[in-house]
Amino acid sequence: MGDFGEQTQDLEIPESLPMMAVRDVVVFNYMIIPLFVGRPGSIEAVNEGLGSNKLLMLVTQKDPTKDDPEEKDLYEVGMVSMIMRTLKLPDGRLKVLVQALSKAKIRSILQKKPYYRVEIDLVEEQEPTEITVETEALMRTVREHTEKIMSLRGILSSDLMMIINNIEEPGRLADLVGSNLRLKISESQKILETIDPIERLRLVADLLHKELEVSTVQAKIQSDAKEEMSRSQREYFLREQIQALKRELGDEDSYSQEIEELSKQLRKKKMPKYAKKEARKQLRRLEMMHPDASEATIVRTYLEWFLDLPWRESSKDMLDLKVAAEVLDEDHYGLDRIKERILEYLAVRKLNADTKGPIICFAGPPGVGKTSLGQAIAKAMNRKFYRLSLGGMRDEAEIRGHRRTYIGAMPGRILQGLKSVGTNNPVFMMDEIDKVGEDYRGDPSSALLEVLDPEQNNSFSDHYMNLPFDLSKVMFITTANRTDTIPGPLLDRMEVIQLSGYTLEEKMVIANKYLLPRQVSENGIKPAIIKIDDATLELIISKYTHEAGVRNLERALGKVCRKIARKVAEGGKGPYVISANTLEKYLGPPKYLPETELDTSAQPGLVIGLAWTEVGGELLHIETSILPGKGKLLLTGQLGEVMKESAQAALSYCRSRNKELGVEPDYFDTVDIHIHVPAGAIPKDGPSAGITMTTALFSAISGKAVKKGVAMTGEVTLRGRVLPIGGLKDKALAALRAGINKVIIPLENQKDLVEIPEELRKKITFFPVKHMDEVVELTLGHVGSAKTALKDASPKKSSAKSVSGKNGK
């Protein structure tokens, strides 16, 4: 090779040479390059060169796609090259190895067929005799950029870099770097056509700078893609290994099986079209996911909820009204209004199967059987039963669910309950709806508006499912101790049924029929072992419990049964008779004494009122004292704003009756009045103590005591009109528990007496009144000139007739 290079230096290049057009490459000085020749004209040109002096003019095509380029399709500047070696290929093409000798420019075209022959002018280049500092810096920049680019492209060669570092001529360095950079044809041709070596090197440096930026970004993209591909390939390889191991062990692809099983269940599941469409969409997403991806777990759980929810599954209602009535009577004693309401619903359901489920709210004190009544209703209707406690609930997501984008998201308690029972028409009980709260997480009571609205709940939307679900077939039953704490819009959607406390007779029947047999069974003793007569039961109810319901009564019976169970476990044979004489051995001394057994001697200023609380009716003892002073009114006993206002109204009414009381007009400016309600640690409030406070004031000022065995309830105005109250049955039961048989009530509450059981009306005499003067006359008789005042206020006759007896007359 060395001898051949020396021969070419002395070779004389003629002015006329055969020319061959090349594609996709620009030949630079000193290049040795193999070319594949296939076009007939090009083969003829090669053969002509071989036949003469082995010289050939190589020119680059502007458009590499043209097979028969015209003169306008060729660049003017090319390279005179020597044919070093040829090889004929089996397909008829030639493989030619050429070496570039000298740059030349086409002066004219002498011949086009069968090959090009051109007349040329050699382009002489003069390398600078002296390398300046700027030129040296430019050469170093070119070398460094070339090394970086080749390193980024992964084609760095130590031999090539050694050659580049050893070249001292700027033009030759520019040609060598330009030939190895894979530049565009137009850019390479521009380098070739630049005659001045320094300018050519500067052009190469600019192209290198731009190419370095592109190569850096390209290398980063390739690195990221390679890293991702390597990880995917590794995961794929590991999965394939796992699958191979499973096949060796005889296990099948569990993920494919799971997809197939979900698809099969989805085809069988009955659900609305919009729900099935969404489920199929999610199933297709799951098929394309990797089984170990976190998103796959979310989609799989979402699909399982689609399959678990009872979109169309319903239980068949028992529409035999007689059987339903027997079931209700079997589990609960009394509660006639509630049983009648359930039977009415079943009757409507029997005539119209598409009727919407009612929203019933049982409101009443604890222990009266609100929750157990819901279970009895489900049993009577042959429906599934689900209970949800709302007490203390503050997060709206408990009702509407969480959105699937959150970690640990799940549907709300409504859809969870329906999934649990597996039907879309259960009896759904929401306990303690009056104790729902709110905070920064939302207002659950507002979320319940859609659930409990019969006009809206046929398309209830849970945040997790994000699809409408029909709740119209569900029979919602809510419970509350009081209704005043339930938000108005929510209360408006419910049909409120008040459950009052039980009478003594009702409690005895409930104890004999339900409570005692249950406690005997739960404590593992036989019914024949224990004997409790009705008189003893009455003592337990009156002296050991003080409640509207029967919860504490069941606890007392359970305590008796536990003590007997211990005796039986220690070898006792029984039977054990629980009587009035032995009761204290089991339950200790009585906890409560009826009012008749307490010191109830009549005293001026002491009056018994009746109040309603969350736990039923209660007695309200109001004491009043008249002290020397300056006209102050002192109220104690932790009274609420309503009771304080009632006391002020009572005082104003008494001041307007100074003549009837027989006192001077300035009397109230010389005394202080102290009104006290005992049990001061217990907050007391409510609009039913007005006539009680007024009567206590009348009694204290006149010095006359109120008649024994009288209680009262009602609010009073400044002019003495008695206003109606609520909770009459509970208050009457409280009076009866205390042994009081005379109750003064507002005249407007006379209509409520029909709701009071007949046995209760037989024991209590009710006195409806419409004016405070009538209350004074009933409790204190004539005070001063009160008789005249009564005549002035009621010229015809007093309305305070007693109401009692079987027919409430």
Dig out the tokens for 596 from the structure: 């008749």
Exposure on the CB side of residue 593, measured as CA atoms within 13 A? 7
Among residues 688, 699, 702, 804, which one is catalytic? 688
Dig out the tokens for 517 from the structure: 């047999």
H helical segments located in 386-477: 397-400, 413-421, 444-451
Angle at 131 between CA 127 and CA 135, to 5 degrees: 95
Cα–Cα distance for residue pair 297/294, rounded to 1 Å: 5
Q: Look-up: residue for tokens 């209602």?
A: 317
Exposure on the CB side of residue 65, measured as CA atoms within 13 A? 0
Cα–Cα distance for residue pair 24/38, rounded to 1 Å: 15
Length of the chain: 809
731 is catalytic: yes
Task: Judge contact between 185 and 59, C-beta under 8 A.
Answer: no
Dig out the tokens for 345 from the structure: 């619903």
Q: Look-up: residue for tokens 């009043």?
A: 624
The alpha-carbon radius of gyration of the chain (Å, integer) is 53
Task: Judge contact between 374 and 429, C-beta under 8 A.
Answer: yes
Task: Judge contact between 501 and 618, C-beta under 8 A.
Answer: no
Task: Judge contact between 609 and 563, C-beta under 8 A.
Answer: no
Under 8 Å CB-to-CB from 710, ≥6 apart: which residues? 608, 740, 742, 743, 744, 778, 779
Dig out the tokens for 768 from the structure: 């409806």
Packing angle, helices 772-780 and 786-793, rounded to 10: 150
Task: Judge contact between 122 and 57, C-beta under 8 A.
Answer: no
Question: Please, which residues bridge with residue 479 across strands?
Answer: 362
102 is catalytic: no
Count helices and strands in the chain by DSSP H and E runs = 29, 24
Query: What does DSSP assign to residue 569?
Result: H
Dig out the tokens for 393 from the structure: 């609930």
| Host H or E run for residue 146 | helix 133-153
Amino acid, res. 579: S
Residue 711 backbone class (left: φ over 0; alpha: ψ -120 to 50; beta: rest): beta
Among residues 339, 729, 731, 770, which one is catalytic? 731
Dig out the tokens for 107 from the structure: 């002066």
Q: How many CB atoms lie within 10 A of CB 124?
A: 8
Long-range pairs of 506-512 with CB within 8 A, sequence gap ≥ 24:
506/333, 506/334, 506/757, 507/541, 507/550, 507/553, 508/534, 508/537, 508/538, 508/541, 509/333, 510/333, 510/550, 510/553, 511/537, 511/540, 511/541, 511/550, 511/553, 511/557, 512/537
Give me the DSSP letters along 591-612: S---GGGS-----BTEEEEEEE
Per DSSP, the three-state class of 132 is: coil
| Host H or E run for residue 763 | helix 758-763
Task: Judge contact between 716 and 747, C-beta under 8 A.
Answer: no
Task: Judge contact between 270 and 279, C-beta under 8 A.
Answer: no
Under 8 Å CB-to-CB from 181, ≥6 apart: which residues? 146, 149, 207, 208, 211
Cα–Cα distance for residue pair 199/192, rounded to 1 Å: 11
Residues annotated as part of the active site? 688, 731
